[in-house]
Structure 1
């Protein structure tokens, strides 16, 4: 297991007001670091970070990573990008620019400061995979001109830039490929399957299952994922990634819908709709690398994580 940080740092988290970004900021502030949360609030929310405003170790900066940022920090986590189909397809050009220009700007900053930088990549780089489960050495099966390409290809290009900056300029990089993650602070209208089902169930609306619901996903609780971030960032220099971070336990979408109905006590029904274009049929990480290099694997069972997430959405609904 990598050694934990032993000194106070000044850390930049882009996308820090988002679902995962805000949980990461909480962790870093809790460890005693000075944290600058940069977010343009396109999909992030002030409510995710409002509890930190009185903390002297926290600073919020409204900033779009498509523009350069002049700042002095010891470490960078680049999480800025819309991450759900509803949000990233709303403005696909902006999504691609955020992934590519954001990576260029943050890598340029890391190069100037000679500091380590983390990239929040995604399992979407595997597309609709022909390999199952997906390993890091799999190059993917992605439609480069489809409706999801703005996100899939944007993140793939960002990974290219990270590794080129590492090889050409010696920038210390860490790249995580994030699989389906859920938990408190998810946007209630982000279109992701867990938030969709919970909100629909609590409102008594039909749960919308696309296709026959036999497509599979693996669901990782947010707290487990943030632990993976911390361990990857603290890992010795030869470990750059990409590293899969996700839960290897696999569930069908229909199984998830049925469990949400049971746990919420909802009388809602399940309604089947046509499967969206390029929707992956299977999504499950091989986390052998994370287990070996980081000593990491998820610990929160789906039922426990769903219980916490349902409680959060009840407070909103």
Structure 2
């Protein structure tokens, strides 16, 4: 492990890497009691350089600056140089300490830490070795739990996934946390969901043994600044196409149903669940379903003012669409809601991105 303190690269005057409106949304909608519970906390963040991690860091540093929280953030990264190039304002903040290493090997990390945020949500390529995917996710969870035990952490947040439910039934328009479904064990493409289920089990065992306040956030589809537009996320690909002045291309028939939670809203949800939630998992996402074809049209309209969409395949008559949409009543019981509508989320995500070349 290599330790590099953020203050080595800090510049005078901290400025967030997202819009002032997003910062104010996070500060306004995160309960005051959550900020107070975080005051003076020493937090270890795995996955802090990814999409979810960057948004958590933006939110935490915004609270740190506005409310004088006195946070100490240790952020694990495999490549500190790349992270500094991507988000110098995060990597260089005096409250941030970068720790070079891999989440599957934290034996050299001791703490002390008050809270562990295990938010590593790596993009899994379709051609990835499923056994490697499974082992890396499980090992990362085991390592962060072992760190929590020896570092004295009393809170732990795991970002899990809606993939733990397996295929959403056709008669279930919004899947609740109580749904007993699971990915098929002979589906090698389900390694991510299988591993996240195992991670949740490991956390439950740890919490029972150590009395840790364990929180599980089952994240569904998300959108916002820091999103990679060249990964296998439909909304990112659609935004990329529109920004390049090309037609938005839908690879399938456009019938699957998805929903999208904006990243600033996500940050509010995760921090609130961390402090005010209970030990049962929470779905984190939008409950407002949209077909992939309609999503493509909305992206095109929002960014170009017209519908330039090409759908590759015709829909099969009578076939129920695949669904990936959560029920969010448990989050609503914490006072959480969707603060940003989809069209605004699309425009904000596009406005943050550099203009790509045409595909």
Shorter-chain TM-score above 0.5 = yes
Which SS does the other structure have where 1:17 is aligned?
coil
Any residues of structure 2 matched to 1:178-189 within 5 Å, and which?
A: 178-189=219-230
Q: Does 1:302 align with 2:342?
A: yes
> CA separation in 1, counterparts of 2:225 and 2:212?
33
Alignment of 1:1-317 (within 5 A): 3-6=33-36, 7-32=39-64, 33-40=71-78, 45-69=83-107, 70-72=109-111, 73-83=113-123, 85-86=124-125, 89-115=127-153, 116-130=155-169, 131-235=172-276, 239-265=278-304, 268-272=308-312, 281-292=322-333, 294-315=334-355
1:267/1:291 Cα in 2 relative to 1: closer, same or farther (>3 Å)? closer
Q: Give the TM-score of the pair, scaled to structure 2.
A: 0.79
Whether the 8 Å CA contact 1:176–1:244 is kept in 2: the answer is: yes
CA distance in 2, matches of 1:185, 1:139: 33
Q: What's the C-alpha RMSD, in Å, of the aligned pairs?
A: 2.4
Q: Secondary structure at the match of 2:249?
A: strand
Q: Is the 8 A contact 1:181 1:246 kept in 2?
A: yes
User: Partner of 1:260: helix, strand, or coil?
Assistant: helix
Q: How many aligned residue pairs are there?
A: 307
> How far has the Cα of 1:150 moved from its partner?
1.7
Matched residue of 2:174: which SS?
coil
Alignment deviations for residues 137-183 of structure 1 (CA, whole Å, 9 cap, x no partner): 11224122324222110111101111111223323211011110110
For residues 297 and 90 of structure 1, the distance between their equivalents in structure 2, rounded to whole angstroms, comes to: 35
Runs of 5+ unmatched residues, structure 1? none
- TM norm structure 1: 0.89
Q: Which sits farther off after the overlay, 183-192 or 47-56?
A: 47-56
Conserved in 2, the CA contact under 8 Å of 1:2 and 1:235?
Answer: no
Cα deviation, residue 283, structure 1: 1.5
1:25/1:37 contact within 8 Å kept: no
Secondary structure of the residue that 1:161 maps to in structure 2?
A: helix
Query: How far 1:251 sits from its partner (Å)?
Result: 0.5
Pick closer, same or farther for the CA change 1:81–1:91 going to 2, 3 Å. farther
Deviation sequence 1:11-66 (CA, Å, 0-9, x none): 11111011110110111122221211112259x85444222233211122222111
In structure 1, how many angstroms separate the alpha carbons of the residues matched to 2:135 and 2:223?
A: 25
Larger Rg belongs to: 2
Structure 2 counterpart SS, 1:4: helix
Task: Kindly indicate whether the alpha-carbon contact (under 8 Å) linking 1:48 and 1:185 is maintained by their aligned counterparts in 2.
Answer: no
Once residues 102 and 122 of structure 1 are traced to their aligned partners in structure 2, the CA distance between those partners, rounded to angstroms, is 15
Is contact 1:19-1:48 (8 Å) kept?
no
Any gaps of 5 or more consecutive residues in structure 2? 1-30, 65-70, 316-320
Query: Residue 297 of structure 1: CA displacement?
Result: 1.2
- When residues 91 and 184 of structure 1 are mapped into structure 2, their CA distance, relative to the original with a 3 A threshold, is farther
Report the Cα distance in structure 1 between the residues aligned to 2:313 and 2:353, rounded to whole angstroms: 24
- Comparing 263-272 and 183-192, the one that deviates more: 263-272
